[in-house]
């Protein structure tokens, strides 16, 4: 009998220990919270895009004349003034045309002098025969011949004068072509590209060749960005922008949107638009052609109460976002080590945080971002999701 009681007691002890151990391993794990402090700061909404740095005004210097390059007076980075000689095309053939035009003009003027002398003689002959006609010294037929000779001589003078004007125009045209052999800068600026060498022949028959590219003012640059059609609707003139270039890691350049061009740029069925960002370049750090990674700030709030977006998405385990007890816009804060729901009014949302314009949240409150469940053995289980699910 005694052995039966001892056996029953042993079995009972084993069952109690098993239940205790089961409870120990299956007991609810204590919760720990990932928190942060609500504070004030700036919130921005921006459009991310890329583009290229370019001078505001770039002039391509070409040539109207054809021929071999005789001399070059401007090179890369040469500062030039308007009218400064940068290159010269061999002028021999054009000088020959000028000399020929001068000779033709001189011949026309000599012809005019000759015909003026002939007109003077015809007028004298006509007047003398007119007096003789009064005394029947000449016939009327002779007078008609004299009158015709005088009129033809006068008409020849007008023809010679017209010929002189034509020869002058030919000379001016030849001189213009000769002057085109001097390649001059049309603006003040800096040479950023030179595309010819001495001895190279340029032909301007079908298309004007570009000899130099001159940037008018490198202290004022612009970034031509490619904004996608999904973002172009929020980009407007006057918005601030920042960008970086690979040449200066960590350095931010600031500018302003000055143009939103409506001409579409289509590449492989992708449509973008050019938003021009103007930027000052007083130290000449920015070079033409640099790739810029830009952010155009479309909306901005300064020194406002803000919370991380993760705080707006969090709800404690067992209270999902679809629960009637959970407000649409609310955050959870720790008060007396207990999570408390605080309704908020959300304003501008940025990339990582949102503006709080109203509600019960105050700067300095401890915001809950997530939960971490710790097991009895001291190992951390995966954090619960923002909607309370593991």
Per CATH, domain 92-179 is 1.10.287: yes
CATH architecture of 46-55+217-300: Beta Barrel (2.40)
Domain 58-89+181-215 falls in which CATH fold? OB fold (Dihydrolipoamide Acetyltransferase, E2P) (2.40.50)
Count how many Cα atoms sit within 13 Å of the Cα of residue 218 in the half-sphere of its side chain.
18
Position 388 scores a pLDDT of: 36
Residue 156: pLDDT over 50: yes
Q: How many residues does the chain have?
A: 390
Position 101 scores a pLDDT of: 94
Confidence of residue 167 (pLDDT cuts 50, 70, 90): very high
Q: Hey, how many other C-beta atoms are within 10 angstroms of the C-beta on 368?
A: 21
> 376 versus 228: which is more confidently predicted?
228
Confidence of residue 242 (pLDDT cuts 50, 70, 90): very high
CA distances from 161 to 103, 106, 107, 108, 169 (A): 16, 12, 12, 8, 13
The residues near 81 (Cβ < 8 Å, ≥ 6 apart) are 185, 188
Average the pLDDT over 115-119 and give the result: 89
| Three-class HEC string of 209-271 | CEEEEEECCCCEEEEEEEEECCCHHHCCCCCEEEEEECCCCCCCEEEEEEEEEEEEEEECCEE
Residue 152: pLDDT over 50: yes
Position 334 scores a pLDDT of: 84
- Distance between CA atoms of 17 and 7, rounded to whole angstroms? 15
Tokens 């794990």 correspond to: 29
Confidence of residue 294 (pLDDT cuts 50, 70, 90): very high
Query: Is pTM, for the whole model, over 0.75?
Result: no
- The answer to whether 384 and 313 are in contact (CB under 8 A) is no
Every domain of the chain with CATH number 2.40.50.100 lies at 58-89+181-215
Confidence of residue 64 (pLDDT cuts 50, 70, 90): confident
- The answer to whether 44 and 299 are in contact (CB under 8 A) is yes
> 320 versus 203: which is more confidently predicted?
203
- The answer to whether 210 and 265 are in contact (CB under 8 A) is no
Share of the chain above pLDDT 90, in %: 40
Every domain of the chain with CATH number 2.40.30.170 lies at 46-55+217-300
- The answer to whether 50 and 225 are in contact (CB under 8 A) is yes
Instruction: Kindly report the average pLDDT of the chain as a whole number.
Output: 84
Average the pLDDT over 75-96 and give the result: 91
Position 235 scores a pLDDT of: 93
- The answer to whether 209 and 63 are in contact (CB under 8 A) is yes
Residue 169's nearest CA partner among 93, 94, 105, 91 is: 105
Every domain of the chain with CATH number 1.10.287 lies at 92-179
Residue 386's nearest CA partner among 279, 290, 310, 296 is: 310
Count how many Cα atoms sit within 13 Å of the Cα of residue 301 in the half-sphere of its side chain.
18
Residue 355's nearest CA partner among 364, 344, 346, 363 is: 346
Residue 15: pLDDT over 80: no
């Amino acid at each position: 009998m005694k052995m039966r009681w001892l056996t029953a007691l042993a079995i009972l002890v084993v069952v109690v220990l098993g239940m205790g151990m089961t409870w120990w391993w299956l007991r609810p794990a204590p919760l720990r919270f990932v928190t942060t402090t609500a504070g004030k700061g700036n919130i921005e909404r921006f459009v991310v895009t890329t583009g290229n740095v370019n001078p505001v005004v770039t002039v391509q210097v070409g040539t109207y004349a054809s021929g071999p390059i005789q001399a070059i007076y401007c090179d890369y980075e040469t500062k030039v003034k308007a009218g400064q000689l940068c290159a010269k095309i061999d002028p021999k053939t054009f000088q020959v045309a000028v000399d020929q035009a001068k000779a033709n003009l001189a011949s026309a003027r000599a012809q005019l002098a000759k015909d003026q002398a002939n007109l003077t003689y015809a007028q004298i002959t006509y007047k003398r025969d007119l007096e003789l006609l009064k005394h029947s010294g000449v016939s009327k037929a002779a007078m008609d011949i004299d009158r015709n000779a005088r009129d033809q001589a006068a008409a020849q003078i007008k023809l010679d004068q017209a010929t002189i004007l034509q020869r002058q125009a030919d000379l001016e045209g030849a001189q213009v072509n000769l002057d085109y052999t001097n390649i001059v800068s049309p603006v003040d600026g800096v040479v950023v590209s030179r595309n010819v060498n001495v001895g190279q022949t340029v032909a301007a028959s079908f298309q004007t060749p570009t000899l130099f590219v001159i940037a008018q003012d490198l202290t004022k640059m612009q970034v031509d960005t490619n904004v996608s059609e999904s973002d172009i609707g929020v980009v407007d003139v006057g918005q601030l922008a920042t960008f970086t270039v690979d040449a200066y890691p960590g350095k931010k350049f600031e500018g302003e949107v000055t143009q939103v061009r409506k001409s579409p740029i289509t590449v492989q069925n992708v449509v973008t638009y050019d938003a021009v960002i103007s930027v000052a370049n007083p130290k000449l750090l920015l070079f033409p052609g640099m790739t810029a990674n830009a952010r155009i700030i479309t909306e901005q709030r300064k020194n406002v109460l803000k919370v991380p977006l993760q705080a707006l998405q969090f709800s404690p385990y067992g209270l999902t976002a679809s629960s009637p007890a959970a407000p649409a816009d609310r955050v959870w804060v720790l008060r007396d080590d207990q999570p408390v729901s605080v309704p908020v009014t959300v304003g501008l949302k940025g990339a990582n945080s949102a503006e709080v314009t109203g509600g019960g949240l105050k700067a300095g409150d401890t915001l809950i971002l997530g939960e971490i469940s710790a097991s009895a053995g001291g190992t951390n289980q995966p954090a619960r999701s923002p909607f309370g699910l593991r």
